[in-house]
Chain A
C-alpha cells in the first residue's frame, strides 16, 4: 500500500480547471482514487455532479479513458466495457492489465442505478463500483435520495412547519452490497485519504466485483463553509455515523474505532441542513438518530468479532 507521500508524487490524472465547487469532496475522492488506480483505468460515471463538472465539451478533466452514458446505468456500462476487454483479451487483441471503475452519486447508486449495480455485481465482472455519497441529489438541486439521512432538510423534504425534513432513515446500501456476497465491500471517505486509497488498491487487486461507499460532504447541499469539508468528513466517522470498515470475503474489519466517540449532534452542528433539528420541538429526532447510530455501531463491533473468529 503506497504511503500518502508516494501517492502525492504520482501524476495527477484529474486536470485542474474543471467546474466543481470549492470544497467539493466528491472531486477529492476522484483524485484520490485516480492516484491509486493509475492511468490504465477505464472510468465510468453516472449522470451527476462529477460527470457534469468534468466533461463539458470540448473539454475534459479526465486523463484516463472516461465514459458517461446515463443516470441509472454506470454499472451496466462499465460491465459492458469490461466484457469487451475480456473478449478482446481472449482473442489476443489486447494484453495490458486495465482497471474498470464505475461510479455514481447516491442518487445514481442507492436509487435509480441500484438495479444495474446489483446485476453487475451478481454477474461477477472484474470491476470496482464507487458510490460517491453526498446524501442527496446535489446536481439537480439538493433533493432527497434513498441515502439522505433522517431529519435532513432538502429541496423536496424541507424543514417545514409540520414536517421537519426527511422522515425516513437512509437505505443501508453498504449492507445491501455485503449481502451480494462479492469479494470486497468497504466504507470510506476522503477525510481519511490513506484508508480510502488502501481500499481502492485492495478492491482493484481482487479478482471480481468490489464496492466502496465513499462519504463525500457537499458544501452546497450540507450548507457549511467550503473549507470545512474535510472536517465534516472526519466528524461523520468519529461520531460513528459513517464507520470506516471493510468486508473481505465475508470477514469484517473496522478500520477506525474512535477513542472518544462524539455524539452525532457534533456532526450536525454547523450544517445548515440539520439546523432545524436543534429546535426544542425536534430534539427527539436527534435522540432517535443517535439511538440508531449506537445500535448499528454496536452491531458492527459484534459482527466484526463474529466474522474474525
Chain B
C-alpha cells in the first residue's frame, strides 16, 4: 500500500530519513538544504525518530562527526549543498576512503563565487572523484526513492561506500509535488538493521581507524576502493530492481526514455530531465524520433547503458550544468566521449552548457537543442566546441 503525499523535495528527503531513522544525523544549515533539516529536527523534537542529532558548528564538523559516528558503528546521515559541500570536501574524501556507508542528500546549488543560492551542479561535480556514489534525482519522488535505496547500496558489503543523493536546489527542493511513499513497516523492512564489521565502541577488540598508510599499502587500499566502486554498478541495479518489486518503481543506472529508435538524443541529469521528457513527448507526437538519456548514477558512471542508449542516435546533445574550466567540454560531456571511445560510434556529439547559477531552462530551449541536432547529424564536432543555452550576448 502506498501513501500518496504532497511534499517538497526537501520534505521528501526528510520523509525518507524519518523512515530510515538513522542512529546519528549531523547537520549544519545551508540554503537550500535548510528545510530538509528543519523537517527532520521536528521529527526528533516530536519523538518520531530515535536519531541522535548533532548540530555542529560547520559542515566540516558535520562530515567529521559523521565519520566519527560511522566508525563507531552507527548508521549516519547528513545533508548539505554548495559551499557546505566544498567546506567538508577534505572529510568527504576521507569518509569514502575509510569505507563508511554514510548517506548524504546534497541539494545542488552553484558554488561561490560570485555567491549564488540557486541550482547548478558545480558542487557535486566538483567532488565527483571523492569516491562517493552519486545518484541524481529528477523530482521529489526520485529524491524519496533514491534516499531509501542509497542506504542499501552504501551498506552492501561488496560496496561499503558513501552515497550522495543529489537534487536540484529550489527547482526540486522547494517545489511541492505529489509522490507515493512506502508504508512505514515496508520502509523499515526494506532498510533493515545495520551491523558494521568494525566499531570504535568494541573495546574488547580494539581497532585503529584512519592510520598512517604509506608507500607500502596506500596503493592497495585505493585499489580495493576502486573495486568497491566497480561493484556498486551491479548493486545499484539489483537494489533498483528489488525496490521496483516493493514500490512499483524500478530504477537502473540510467533511464533511457524513448531512446530505442531515436535519431536524436539529449543527455542530462536532474530536474532538466523532466523538462526534456515533455519535449520528447511533444516531438514524438509530431513524428520526430527523439529521446532522452537520463543519467541517474554519475558515480559509478553507466558506460554500458550509455552505449546501448545511443545505439541508434545520429546526433546527441550533452547538457552540462557545471563547468570544467579549461577542459574540452563539461564533466558529463567528457564522460560520454570516454564511454563511447573504442565502441565504433560515429554519432555527432554536441556539448551544451546551461543553467549556471539557477538560469532557467525551458521546453523551448530543449526543443531548439533537438532542432540543432538535426543540422549537425553526420558532422564531426570538435570536442572543445561548447554551445550555450539561455545565455545573453
Contacts and interface: CB of A to CB of B under 8 A. Distances in A.
Nearest to A58: B217
A79 B207 CA distance: 18
Contacts of B74: 83-84, 87-88
Interface residues of A, number: 48
B386 to A, nearest CB: 36
B50 A90 contact: yes
Contacts of B24: 80, 83-84, 87
B50 A81 contact: no
B68 to A, nearest CB: 3
Contacts of B342: none
A41 interface: yes
A143 interface: no
B57 A83 contact: no
A184 to B, nearest CB: 21
B135 to A, nearest CB: 24
A69 B68 contact: yes
A41 B64 contact: no
Given A72-B60, A80-B64, A80-B66, A91 B50 contact: yes
Interface residues of B, number: 43
Interface string A60-76: 10111111111011001
Contacts of A94: 201
B202 to A, nearest CB: 7
A101 B375 CA distance: 66
B61 A84 contact: no
A65 B64 contact: no
Interface stretch (A115-123, A190-198, A282-290): A115-123
B129 interface: no
A42 B65 contact: no
B210 A67 contact: yes
Interface stretch (A49-57, A168-176, A235-243, A258-266): A49-57
B206 interface: yes
28 contacts: A56-B211, A57-B211, A58-B217, A60-B211, A64-B206, A66-B206, A67-B68, A67-B209, A68-B210, A70-B91, A72-B60, A73-B60, A73-B91, A78-B68, A80-B67, A80-B72, A81-B68, A81-B72, A83-B24, A84-B23, A84-B52, A87-B23, A88-B72, A90-B50, A116-B58, A118-B57, A119-B56, A119-B57
Given A40-B203, A68-B208, A68-B210, 7 more contacts: A57-B217, A69-B67, A69-B210, A70-B94, A73-B60, A78-B68, A87-B50
